Structure 1
Amino acid sequence: MLGKVLAIILGLSALVAGGAMYYLQVYGFYEEVAPQPGRDVVLLPLDGSEPRPIAYDDFQAIDADSSPIRYRACFTTDLTRQDLAAEFTPSKQTVPRNAPGWFDCFDAEALGAALEEGTATAFVSVKNISYGVDRIVAITDQGQGFVWHDMNDCGKQTYDGTSVVEGACPERDE
């Protein structure tokens, strides 16, 4: 009898722990980001000068302190990606990271397909927004905009354990 009771307690504990881990990963750490007009959506000019804001509406964003790559945002814009490409730096990072299912406006699969088909363009927003992480902005032909954080070359080298070439990456904040 004692074995059955212990098995039930162990099983219930595993279910509670599993449910808590799921909740924390999908919902728990995320917070809505308060819009900061003129600062939410910026793009890096081709000349490499300071990122400049672009016109946007309907901004929604989420972020989490637990990881620098959890930031996701959506917005709309009247600017065309072709006009933006004439002024701003395109990004080589064109595979958006998935967002939690409850953040409805960010569909990474559809955005990835649009980037692959050429109906969307990804731009560099801010380099090293966090050490080894760049902010990427993508604009579609329909005027939908998406923002996510992705590891740059320094971040990939740092976090996968390969040695970082001296001078190739910015100084790391302590």
Structure 2
Amino acid sequence: MGKFLAVLLFLCAAGGGAFMYYQQVYAYYEEVEPDGETDVVMTSMITDAPEPVLYDDFRAIDATSSPIRYRACFTTSMSHAMLTETYLLDEDAVPLTAPGWFDCFDAREIGEAIEAGRALAFLGTENIEYGIDRVVAIHEDGRGWVWDQINPCGEVVFDGNAAPEDCPEPPEGY
């Protein structure tokens, strides 16, 4: 009887672990249908508003289970020189990992390229959802990536503290 219970316990633990892995990596993600115009936007230095940029080969995933699960990949013909003269850089950009099956988005490679200056990170849309910024990074070879990350105001408010004075007022429920 003891061996049976041990095997049953092991099978339940293995099944539960496999189920949790599936939930984290596959279950909630959905492919995002591109609209062909506003899938990649960056904040203009002149207007301080997000504006569409030129892009091709767009692929994206998102999940409703978290506001920071959005990931996208694309290509662009826009040069770093033109981009830095037109759009706001994001000095705090840190790419977040994507599921392994979304193979065009490698957070480690993107992060290393940003640190080495081969890729530049730009503010896509500030507060796309309260406390969450959309970030766009573009490599010198034209590959680009988009992800959502928590901004400094979000970090404070999501920890349960009052919003600092230089942050917008959080919506009800935060």
TM bin, normalised by shorter chain, reads: over 0.9
Query: For 1:1-174, what aligned pairs fall within 5 Å after superposition?
Result: 1=1, 3-166=2-165, 168-172=167-171
* 1:34 partner SS: coil
| Cα distance in structure 2, aligned partners of 1:166 and 1:112 | 31
Deviation track 1:101-134 (CA, whole Å, cap 9, x = no partner) reads: 1111011111111100111110001111111000
Amino acid at match of 1:4: K
* 2:74 partner SS: strand
| Cα distance in structure 1, aligned partners of 2:166 and 2:135 | 23
| Cα distance in structure 2, aligned partners of 1:173 and 1:153 | 19
Contact 2:163 2:169 in 1 (8 A): no
Deviation track 1:75-122 (CA, whole Å, cap 9, x = no partner) reads: 000001220110111112222111111111011111111100111110
User: TM-score of the superposition, structure 2-length normalised?
Assistant: 0.93
- RMSD across aligned C-alpha pairs, in angstroms? 1.5
User: TM-score of the superposition, structure 1-length normalised?
Assistant: 0.93
* 2:60 partner SS: strand
| Cα distance in structure 1, aligned partners of 2:55 and 2:35 | 11
| Cα distance in structure 2, aligned partners of 1:111 and 1:72 | 12
Contact 1:62 1:71 in 2 (8 A): yes
Contact 1:80 1:141 in 2 (8 A): yes
| Cα distance in structure 1, aligned partners of 2:23 and 2:129 | 23
**Number of residue pairs the alignment of both structures matches:** 173
Structure 1 gaps of 5+ residues are none
| Cα distance in structure 1, aligned partners of 2:62 and 2:126 | 18
How much does 1:48 deviate? 4.5
Q: Residues 170 and 161 (structure 1 numbering): CA distance in 2 closer, same or farther, change over 3 Å? A: closer
Contact 2:163 2:170 in 1 (8 A): no
* 1:67 partner SS: coil
